[in-house]
Amino acid sequence: MLMWRAGVALLGVLGIVEWGCSEEIAALGTTVHVAAQLAAAVVRQSTMEKRAVPQGQSEVDSLEVTSVRILLKRLKLHTTGDTSLQGEEVKVGPFVAVFAHRERQLAVSTIPPATYRRLKLEFHRLTDEEVSRYANDSLLWEFATPERYSVSIEGRVFTPAGASAFIYRSDVTANVALPLEPPAEVRKEQVLSLLLHCDPYQIFVVAGRLVDPRDERNRRFIDSNLHMAFKVLKRTI
């Protein structure tokens, strides 16, 4: 059973750990688990401060996000003295990080003992060669198109006219460094458990207003918000 606390999520692997198979975790030694989940599903205009809509933006009454899929090149943990090229690789891709209502495991990896201060996500657009290679891949096909998208968000928007489904895609690339607060000191034969949150509010709220992802005039605002939508939480397992 998962139990949350604000401190560092570390447990000695000396007995049974209720995360999959305890024998597998023990064999891995010093281990990091990373899971992904939507922080919230629905964003409502009524919960926000009433402000004028900035020029070039359209808005909706509320918005529900059902899934966010990000194509990543790497997932890394960094210590204080690391450069951007250093760090411990948790997972190497390309691979898809899926954020949904239910938590999904993203990576399990062996890491050396150290004090880790940030988790880095590397958003990725497939190269032309990768597009050909992954066009029929069951997990990557959505990103193996001529547009070479890196982000795909699905949900519904609600207006006075009713509900409408939407899919918002972006080709944005970014290296997103997420701080671990406080830093995570990982010793030998311990487990670090991290939950990566994606918050739709941070993506679709612009200048205090919820905007319509179907309106191309909002694209530049939404794309610029994407890197701010992620947060990493430490927890006990």
CA distance 75 to 19: 21
SS3 at position 169? strand
User: Based on the number of CB atoms within 10 Å of its own CB, is 183 exposed (0-12), middle (13-18) or buried (19 or more)?
Assistant: middle
Q: What is the CA radius of gyration of the chain?
A: 19
Q: What per-residue confidence (pLDDT) applies to 19?
A: 35
Question: What pLDDT, on the 0 to 100 scale, is given for residue 59?
Answer: 64
Question: What is the reported pTM?
Answer: 0.80
Q: Which two tokens stand for residue 76?
A: 């890394």
C-beta atoms surrounding 178 within 10 Å: 16
Alpha carbon distance 132, 113 (integer Å): 39
Distance CA 59, CA 56 (A): 10
Alpha-carbon 112 to chain mean position: 24
SS3 of 177-217: the string is EEEEEEEEEECCCEEEEEEEEECHHHHHEECCEEECCCCHH
- Compute CA 185 distance to the chain's CA centroid, rounded to the nearest angstrom: 23
CB neighbours of 98 closer than 8 A, spacing ≥ 6?
36, 67, 68, 69, 104, 106
- Please state, as a whole number, how many other Cβ atoms lie within 10 Å of the Cβ of residue 65: 27
pLDDT of residue 4: 36
pLDDT at 1: 38
Query: In 3D, which of 39, 37, 63, 58 has the Cα closest to residue 221?
Result: 58
The residue ranges of the chain whose pLDDT is under 50 are 1-28, 47-48, 50-53, 56-57
**How high does pLDDT run on average in the chain?**
83
Contact in structure between 212 and 35 (CB atoms under 8 Å): no
At 36 the three-state DSSP class reads: strand
The reported pLDDT for the residue numbered 237 is 58
Q: Give me the count of residues in the chain.
A: 237
